[in-house]
């Protein structure tokens, strides 16, 4: 059967909490799509505004919305008042599935970084997802995680009575349980924290299962089956702060996770006196000296390149070097005081920016 003269419905539909999702083949572009039918939402301004924002989004970690349809399909009981969202089809399991348990801290970091990136991209468009949880994320056959199921229709008439409607126990932030709850992007940050904990522990602690959730007795991210860096465990734990104002921005969480994913993967080129050398995880320090002028040691700690030691006159981009300072991505280090003019010598430093490879 063809929907909108174009989408061939095959197989069987998924029936979720409020929506029906139909796997279809787009016969024009010959690709698989998932058409989500949202009953009765076609005339809600906010839903439409939000979908138009999502239509503009291009994120590797968010299901792409291709089109919106308002058509009646008698055979499938689709009414004109229903909104049908045509989305990219993701073939794969959702993250609630036990088959997708991370086996190491590195695998775990890759997973939570992808989720954090997707949510940051959503927030960058001023959209709040509202129903972040492992069931609403899938991993495709290439290992890419994509987020779907925007809580588009769940924003109206919020009150304690409807909380079951706008959130999911264990993932809904405490402020969603308040009367007249006003929510911000911080609800997604909380739900991300719960999801990250679930993905690591395959369970949620009792504090999060209370309704509303209560403050965590300890940092559970420090007790996952694999060891996370302290900074990673702390930033993830801060997502679960009971006070929405104290939760970090999603992009800051993403950046901390990226920093740890890139640990020991940088490479810098250092050129002095016509001689080039590389600094990386195999070769962590270099010492350069200009007799009677100055001497500098640069070292790589896995995250940054730092001035490890210096003596005499050493300048980084014309400012006197300070031991412990981080070198910018590209800079010139001068040995010798400025008044020494043509007796000074220069070191050029260039960092090649590594990418996260999934
Ligand atoms: N883009 C998609 N690609 C593949 N399957 C999807 C897609 N979107 C949703 N589904 C499937 O349909 C189910 C219900 O969709 P969802 O958007 O989560 O709606 P609900 O609000 O009912 O939970 C999902 O759990 C998932 O199995
Ligand atoms: Mg869902």
Domain that holds residue 256: 93-261
Ligand nearest to the CA of 23: 1
* pTM passes above 0.75: yes
**Do 172 and 302 sit in the same domain of this protein?**
no
Using CA atoms, how far apart are residues 312 and 319, in angstroms rounded to an integer?
A: 14
Neighbours of 263 (CB within 10 A): 14
Q: Which of 88, 114, 134 is the last residue of a domain?
A: 88
Q: Which of 27, 54, 88 is the last residue of a domain?
A: 88
CA nearest to 347, candidates 291, 294, 270, 286? 270
Question: Residue with the nearest Cα to atom 19 of ligand 1?
Answer: 16
**Do 106 and 200 sit in the same domain of this protein?**
yes
**Do 116 and 48 sit in the same domain of this protein?**
no
pLDDT (tens digit, 0 to 9) for every residue of the chain, 358 residues total? 899 999 999 989 988 777 899 999 999 999 999 999 988 877 777 778 888 888 989 999 999 999 999 888 888 888 888 889 999 999 999 999 888 899 999 999 999 999 999 999 999 998 999 899 999 999 999 999 999 998 765 544 443 344 444 578 999 999 999 877 778 999 999 999 999 999 999 999 999 999 999 999 999 999 999 999 999 999 999 999 999 999 999 999 999 999 999 999 999 999 999 999 999 999 999 999 999 999 999 999 999 999 999 999 999 999 999 999 999 999 999 999 999 999 999 999 999 988 888 8
Q: Which of 88, 114, 149 is the last residue of a domain?
A: 88
Question: Residue with the nearest Cα to atom 17 of ligand 1?
Answer: 149
Cα 17 to ligand 2 centroid, rounded to whole Å: 7
Cα 329 to ligand 1 centroid, rounded to whole Å: 42
Within a domain: residue 357? no
Within a domain: residue 297? yes
The count of C-alpha atoms lying within 13 angstroms of the C-alpha of 5, restricted to the half-sphere facing its C-beta, is 0
Cα 96 to ligand 1 centroid, rounded to whole Å: 13
> Looking at the chain, which runs of residues are DSSP E strands?
2-3, 7-9, 14-15, 20-26, 31-38, 65-69, 83-88, 93-94, 137-139, 145-147, 267-272, 275-279, 285-290, 294-300, 305-312, 314-316, 319-320, 330-335, 345-352
Question: Residue with the nearest Cα to atom 9 of ligand 1?
Answer: 21
- Work out how many domains the chain is built from and give that number: 3
- Residues 6+ away with beta carbon under 8 Å from 274: none
């Amino acid at each position: 059967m063809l929907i909108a003269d174009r989408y061939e419905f095959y197989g069987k539909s998924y029936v979720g909490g409020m929506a029906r999702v139909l796997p279809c083949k787009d016969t024009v572009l010959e690709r698989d799509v998932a058409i989500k039918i949202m009953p009765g939402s076609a005339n809600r301004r906010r839903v439409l505004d939000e979908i138009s924002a999502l239509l503009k989004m291009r994120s590797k970690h968010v299901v792409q919305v291709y089109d919106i349809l308002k058509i009646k399909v008698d055979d499938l009981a689709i009414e004109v008042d229903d909104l049908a969202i045509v989305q990219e089809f993701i073939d794969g399991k959702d993250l609630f599935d036990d088959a997708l348990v991370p086996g190491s801290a590195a695998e775990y970091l890759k997973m939570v970084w992808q989720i954090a990136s997707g949510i940051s991209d959503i927030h960058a468009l001023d959209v709040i997802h509202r129903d972040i949880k492992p069931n609403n994320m899938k991993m495709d056959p290439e290992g890419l995680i994509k987020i779907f199921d925007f809580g588009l229709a769940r924003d109206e008439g919020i009150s304690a009575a409807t909380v079951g409607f706008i959130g999911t126990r264990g993932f809904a932030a405490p402020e969603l349980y308040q009367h007249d709850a006003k929510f911000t992007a911080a609800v997604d940050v909380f739900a991300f924290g719960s999801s990250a904990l679930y993905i690591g522990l395959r369970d949620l602690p009792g504090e999060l299962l209370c309704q509303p959730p209560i403050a965590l007795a300890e940092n559970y991210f420090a007790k996952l089956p694999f060891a996370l860096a302290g900074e990673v465990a702390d930033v993830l734990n801060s997502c679960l702060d009971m006070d929405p104002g104290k939760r970090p921005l999603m992009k800051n969480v993403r950046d901390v996770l990226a920093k740890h994913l890139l640990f020991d993967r940088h490479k810098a080129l250092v050129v002095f006196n016509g001689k080039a050398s590389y600094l990386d995880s195999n070769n962590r320090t270099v010492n350069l000296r200009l007799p009677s002028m100055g001497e500098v040691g640069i070292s790589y700690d896995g995250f940054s390149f730092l001035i490890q030691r210096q003596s005499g006159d050493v300048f980084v981009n014309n400012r006197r070097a300070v031991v412990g300072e981080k070198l910018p991505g590209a800079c010139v280090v001068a040995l010798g005081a400025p008044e020494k003019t043509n007796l000074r010598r220069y070191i050029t430093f260039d960092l090649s920016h590594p990418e996260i490879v999934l």
